[in-house]
Structure 1
Amino acid sequence: MPHITLNGDEPGIRGLFGFRPETARPLNELVEVLLRADSTLTPGERELIAAYVSALNECRYCFSSHAAYAAAQLPEGMELVEQVRADLASAPVSPKLRALLAIAAAVQRGGREVTDEHVAAARAEGATDLEIHDTVLIAAAFCMYNRYVDGLATIAPDDPASYAARAKRIVADGYLALLAEAQNRS
């Protein structure tokens, strides 16, 4: 049960967006840029970074959501997401993505945990400064989103199908379109 009285029964961050809509737009704009805007990292790879950090933070709602969104956009689907979650070192991802995920894990532990060695390893695998920047910002943002969702004890559905259904809509329409739709219903 959430720590505060929300305006509806929407799960996770969606319930919080309904409670304080004026914060919903900037938070969704940030995630839209980080996870869907033009980038040399695919949307699936960026969603995988978000899901991985959420798994490390043990945020069930955010992991389940972004795992479904990543799986919907990666050819290897949920199997790859679960492999990364279980053991990054043996997961079948590119060396560049593995190095970026290692940076994301360092950010999750604390910003100062990112070392020159992490960055050099990512660069050695072909990561650009923009990819390194965006990985750090995705990881930092998802630490905030995870703490927001869990800090207010929001609801997290148990049924993976609910996350998969939402994934189809996120992939097709993006975060801002779904936000506008939700705000129009309110």
Structure 2
Amino acid sequence: MAHIDLGLDEQAHPGINGPMRFRPETAKPLNDLAETLLRAPHPSLTPGERELIAAYVSGLNECGFCCASHSAFAAAQLPRGMPLVDQVRADPATAPVSGKLRALLRIAAAVQRSGRAVTREMVDAARAEGATDLEIHDTVLIAAAFCMYNRYVDGLGTWAPEDPEAYDRAAAHIVSNGYTAS
């Protein structure tokens, strides 16, 4: 049970969904931000790669709901699916991803610890792997935003399903309709 009365059936609205229904006026900008960061057209980072960054940061933050959700969302949009997501979450240094994505994940992990943990060397290493300023910017913002989303979900003590099928169903909905669909 959530730390506050959300006025709804938590099992019907798990994780972030309950607080968003509780306070729709804050849900709109949060959903708009997620839509922009994770799904909007991007010149080089795919939606699956951006979801992978969100899943990775959520895992580092130990946010069960967001990690499971965004892992499923990433897997649904990446050719190698959940096996790749699991490899990245376990050890991005050895996961079969590009050097650029590996460098961006290093930056995302630094942001998760503290924005000041991102170093010039990390940024230079990402650039050396072909990362653009836009990709670096968006990685930092995705990581920072997911620290906020993770703390929102966990700070209110929301309920998270244990059944992976629930996250797969949510992934199908997000991939088809996005974050801003009513």
With the length of structure 1 as denominator, give the TM-score of the two structures. Answer: 0.95
Task: Work out the CA distance in 1 between the residues paired with 2:98 and 2:177.
Answer: 28
What is the root-mean-square deviation of aligned Cα atoms in Å?
A: 0.5
1:14 aligns with 2:14: no
| Partner AA of 2:5 in structure 1 | T
Question: Where does 1:2-151 land on structure 2 (aligned, <5 Å)?
Answer: 2-8=2-8, 9=10, 10-39=13-42, 40-151=44-155
Structure 1 residue ranges (4+ consecutive) displaced by more than 2 angstroms after TM superposition: none
Per-residue CA distance 1:127-178 (angstroms, 9 max, x = gap): 000000000000000000000000010001000000001101100110101x
What is the CA distance between 1:120 and its match in structure 2? Answer: 0.3
Indicate the residue corresponding to 1:183 in structure 2.
none
Task: Work out the CA distance in 1 between the residues paired with 2:62 and 2:2.
Answer: 17
Task: Work out the CA distance in 1 between the residues paired with 2:39 and 2:27.
Answer: 17
Task: Work out the CA distance in 1 between the residues paired with 2:34 and 2:23.
Answer: 17
- Give identity over the alignment, percent: 72
| Partner AA of 2:3 in structure 1 | H
Aligned residues: 178
| Partner AA of 2:159 in structure 1 | I
Question: Which structure's residues are more often helix, by fraction?
Answer: 1
Query: Match of 1:88, SS?
Result: coil
Uncovered stretches (5+) of structure 1, i.e. residues with no partner: 181-186
What is the CA distance between 1:7 and its match in structure 2? Answer: 2.2
Task: Work out the CA distance in 1 between the residues paired with 2:101 and 2:90.
Answer: 16
What is the CA distance between 1:18 and its match in structure 2? Answer: 0.8
Q: Which moved more, 1:4-13 or 1:148-157?
A: 4-13
What is the CA distance between 1:88 and its match in structure 2? Answer: 1.0
Per-residue CA distance 1:101-133 (angstroms, 9 max, x = gap): 000000000000000011001000110000000
Task: Work out the CA distance in 2 between the residues paired with 1:38 and 1:100.
Answer: 19
Task: Work out the CA distance in 1 between the residues paired with 2:159 and 2:31.
Answer: 19
What is the CA distance between 1:38 and its match in structure 2? Answer: 1.0
With the length of structure 2 as denominator, give the TM-score of the two structures. Answer: 0.97
